[in-house]
Amino acid sequence: MNETKPVTSSIVYKLSTWHLSQVFLSFFWINLILLLFLAGLLWLRAEQTVGEQIKSGLYGENALPEEPGGLRLPGFFDSFFPAHLQGAVRQVVITEESGEFWRRIEGLRYRVWVPANDIYHFADYNIGEHIVVFVPAGMVLLVFELFFLLSSAGKGARFMSRALQPIYDLTLKAKTISSAQGMPSDKQLVDLKGRIDNIDVTELDTRISVSSPQSELTDLTEAINGMLERVNNAYRSQIRFVSDASHELRTPIAVIQGYANLLDRWGKNDEKALEESIVAIKSEAENMKELVEQLLFLARGDNNSMHLSLLELNLSEVLSEVIRETEMIDPNHSFILKTKNDVFTVGDAQLIKQAMRIFIDNSVKYTPSGGVITANAFYEDDYAKIIIQDEGIGIAPADISQVFDRFFRSDDSRTRKTGGTGLGLAIAKWIVERHKGHIELLSRKDFGTRVTVFFRRQ
């Protein structure tokens, strides 16, 4: 194949067409402006000459007793003209009715009729003698512009071909390499497209298989299967999430509805029923508010719309603050803070504090009254670690792998004795992982639980 062959792709055609259209439009506007300018000059010259004739009383023959046909300017524009031209009627007339074309054009007159003593007189100006000069000059200009357009079309196409020649050569090389490596045929790609089109939301567990020696097609198939696996997992997770969320919301709604019915029947006259209903409704409304807020938090986290303010952070101070705040509202447990040194990481202070509070609250919730909760922050290898340990009821071995799942509770009956929404640990896990950390959980039934959080060391 001749590698010096000029580029004949559609790109050259499109660029050449665009270039010609721009040149043509430029000529069009230049010609239009020039034509209007010359017409304006000719009209001003005619008005000036005719006005002088009328002012001097140099009228043409054949006066008319009535107003002739023609153009009468509106009053506003007519007021700008001299008094002897106001109310005039203007015409363009052909004085030569027969003969050669140019002879007739040369006989064009600009005629102005003015009334005087109820009789209309006129004065003429020969505009034809100017037009017969302008027209040939304009034709010469048009021929020149046409010649310029045709020559620029050829030159522009050749210039663009030379400019795009390296791209053309690169395309030829790519085609040669692709042919040598054996790229997938159109039929194989169509078959692959057909298999993908047949997969719908109810068949996300379907996988695509191809029998092709081309590694490119095999790699593409593996990538699509991996994508289908991730989509399927996300879809199943969404189904479970919606199901659990609807279950969690159904309970407080049912409680509120029940107490509303109780109020409707007896609450108007029974103060005890009224007080009980109000307390229960406020409690369930608070539970629903907490659930919705946590759902929104996780939703923002899932679509990556939550912004983290990453700054240097002292984990020892955060842990100490959470312990101090918890002691103020919980006199039934003992808290021991073993942290002695400052431990720094980079993170969002509010989110990390929220995660620590979730772990502490969980320990408080499942530790019997009088139990001890211990917290510590320290460096170990490349990590800044936080350990929170309690003397609570512990977690069954079968449940440890699920405690960070959304809405999971180890008590399957979901009696809500301990309160909460089942989303706290899921939120804490999201916060830690968003900070490039991880969590280790060690628990023994009826003995206690230890949570270890690993952050990057600063």
Residue 4 has pLDDT above 50, yes or no: no
Residue 304 has pLDDT above 60, yes or no: yes
**Burial of residue 109, with CB atoms counted within 10 A of its CB: 0-12 exposed, 13-18 middle, 19 or more buried:** buried
* Cα–Cα distances in angstroms (integers) from residue 184 to residues 47, 89, 190, 216, in the given order: 79, 81, 10, 7
Which of 43-47, 233-237, 334-338 is least confident? 233-237
Token pair of 201 as six digits: 């939301």
Which of 20-29, 88-97, 261-270, 363-372 is least confident? 261-270
Buried-state track 397-431, b at ≥16 Cβ within 10 A, e below 16: eebeeebbbbbbbbeeeeebeeebbbbbbbbbbbb
Binned at pLDDT 50, 70 and 90, residue 117 comes out as: confident
The C-alpha atoms of residue 125 and residue 85 are separated, in whole angstroms, by 15
The C-alpha atoms of residue 408 and residue 414 are separated, in whole angstroms, by 9
* Residue that has been written with the tokens 């189904």 in this structure: 239
Q: What is the CA radius of gyration of the chain?
A: 46
* Residue that has been written with the tokens 């006005």 in this structure: 51
Beta bridge partners of 448: 444
HEC readout, the chain: CCCCCCCCCHHHHHHHHHHHHHHHHHHHHHHHHHHHHHHHHHHHHHHHHHHHHHHCCCCCCCCECCCCCCEECCHHHHCCCCHHHCCCEEEEEECCCCCCHHHHHHCEEEEEEEEECCEEEEEEEECHHHHHHHHHHHHHHHHHHHHHHHHHHHHHHHHHHHHHHHHHHHHHHHHHHHHHHCCCCHHHHHHHHHHHHCCCHHHCCCCCCCCCCCHHHHHHHHHHHHHHHHHHHHHHHHHHHHHHHHHHHHHHHHHHHHHHHHHHHHHCCCHHHHHHHHHHHHHHHHHHHHHHHHHHHHHHHHCCCCCCCCEEEEHHHHHHHHHHHHHHHCCCCEEEECCCCCCEEEECHHHHHHHHHHHHHHHHHHCCCCCEEEEEEEEECCEEEEEEECCCCCCCHHHHHHCCCCCCCCCCCCCCCCCCCCCHHHHHHHHHHHCCCEEEEEEECCCEEEEEEEEECC
* Averaged pLDDT of the chain: 79
**Span 184-200, mean pLDDT?**
57
Beta bridge partners of 108: 94
Residue 323: closest CA among 392, 393, 376: 376
Highest mean pLDDT among 112-121, 169-178, 229-238: 112-121
What superfamily does domain 307-456 belong to in CATH?
Histidine kinase-like ATPase, C-terminal domain (3.30.565.10)
Question: Which pLDDT value is given to residue 2?
Answer: 47
Contact between 446 and 393 under an 8 Å Cβ cutoff? The reply is yes
Amino acid at position 449, single letter: T
Question: Which pLDDT value is given to residue 432?
Answer: 94
Q: Looking at domain 184-306, which CATH architecture does it have?
A: Orthogonal Bundle (1.10)
Tens digit of pLDDT for each residue in 179-189? 554 445 555 55
185 vs 393, more confident = 393
Q: What is the pairing mode between strands 372-380 and 334-337?
A: parallel
Length of the chain: 458
Residue 320 has pLDDT above 70, yes or no: yes
Which of 148-152, 166-170, 285-289, 358-362 is least confident? 166-170
Question: Which pLDDT value is given to residue 413?
Answer: 38
Question: Which pLDDT value is given to residue 86?
Answer: 80
Question: Which pLDDT value is given to residue 164?
Answer: 66
* Residue that has been written with the tokens 């003969």 in this structure: 99
Binned at pLDDT 50, 70 and 90, residue 100 comes out as: confident
Residue 412 has pLDDT above 90, yes or no: no
Q: Where are the domains of the chain?
A: 10-146, 184-306, 307-456
* Residue that has been written with the tokens 């010359």 in this structure: 38
Question: Which pLDDT value is given to residue 272?
Answer: 79
131 vs 240, more confident = 131
* Residue that has been written with the tokens 């969980």 in this structure: 362
Question: Which pLDDT value is given to residue 439?
Answer: 95
Amino acid at position 356, single letter: M
Side-chain-facing half-sphere of 417: CA atoms under 13 Å:
6
67 vs 311, more confident = 311
Residue 142 has pLDDT above 50, yes or no: yes
Contact between 404 and 426 under an 8 Å Cβ cutoff? The reply is yes
Binned at pLDDT 50, 70 and 90, residue 12 comes out as: low
Question: Which pLDDT value is given to residue 414?
Answer: 38
Residue 27: closest CA among 152, 141, 133, 153: 141
